Amino acid sequence: EVQLVQSGAEVKKPGESLKISCKGSGYSFTSYWIGWVRQMPGKGLEWMGIIYPGDSDTTYSPSFQGQVTISTDKSISTAYLQWSSLKASDTAMYYCARRYYDLGYYFDYWGQGTLVTVSS
Amino acid sequence: QSVLTQPPSASGTPGQRVTISCSGSTSNIGSNHVCWYQQLPGTAPKLLIYRNNQRPSGVPDRFSGSKSGTSASLAISGLRSEDEADYYCAAWDDSLSGPVFGGGTRLTVL
């Protein structure tokens, strides 16, 4: 069974750093791209970026380029999303999702989400 | 402001058929397949429709999708109370080299 399990909720102060994780299981982790999606409180879904664990090839949405870093450790089938200096506006739910290709791209499996709260 | 345009809300009574529209451009819907996600309250999104009109295993055939030009739509027939959720359309965008989402449509079952 394909599963993406994300790390738990975080409460941080502005200016702090943070790294959240997404562990894949039940499939060949290095063969599928993993994307990150932000959902701000009461808002819609926003694509942040995507990484291929096989070679760490990464593409960022222009809206998030330079704001976050996406990485992976294929030895433990885990993808990461990190911030070096959080802002209050980073408060959101963050989802990882596996990208599948079948004559088109879509996210077929999603993690349960990690809630990040940034508040002084 | 989302790249794909959806109505913010839709509603229907049990048993009715409702449709949700999604409008894009030539760089996304016009040149790539559309998918739809269902997000039940307090849960992660779930793939509902892919490749414009295909249903993953386990998705009831009450849900159907279609695409024409730069627009797409999701239809839900035989509406049930458990269909109350947010629905998002999405498509790959060639200009962005990534997916774009609609703003979401909140479906209320009256």
The model's pLDDT over A34-53, given as tens digits with 9 standing for 90+, comes to 999 999 999 999 999 999 99
User: How much is the pLDDT for A61?
Assistant: 95
User: How much is the pLDDT for B31?
Assistant: 95
User: How much is the pLDDT for A102?
Assistant: 81
The A residues from 19 to 38 touching B (CB cutoff 8 Å) are 35, 37
pLDDT in tens, A65-103: 999 999 999 999 999 999 999 999 999 999 999 999 888
Residue ranges in chain B modelled with pLDDT below 70: none
For residue A75, give both structure tokens. Answer: 């030895």
Angle at A75 between CA A69 and CA A79, to 5 degrees: 30
- The answer on pLDDT for A112 being more than 90 is yes
pLDDT in tens, A2-12: 999 999 999 99
- The answer on pLDDT for A62 being more than 90 is yes
User: Which of B44, B100, B102 is closest, CB to CB, to A112?
Assistant: B44
**Would you call B90 and A110 a contact, using CB atoms and an 8 Å cutoff?**
no
What Rg, from alpha-carbon coordinates, does chain A have? 14
| Mutation for testing the B interface, residue in A45, A51, A52, A59 having most B CBs under 10 Å | A45
Question: What is the rounded CA–CA span in Å between residue B34 and residue B47?
Answer: 11
- The answer on pLDDT for A117 being more than 90 is yes
Chain A's closest residue to B35, CA to CA, is A106
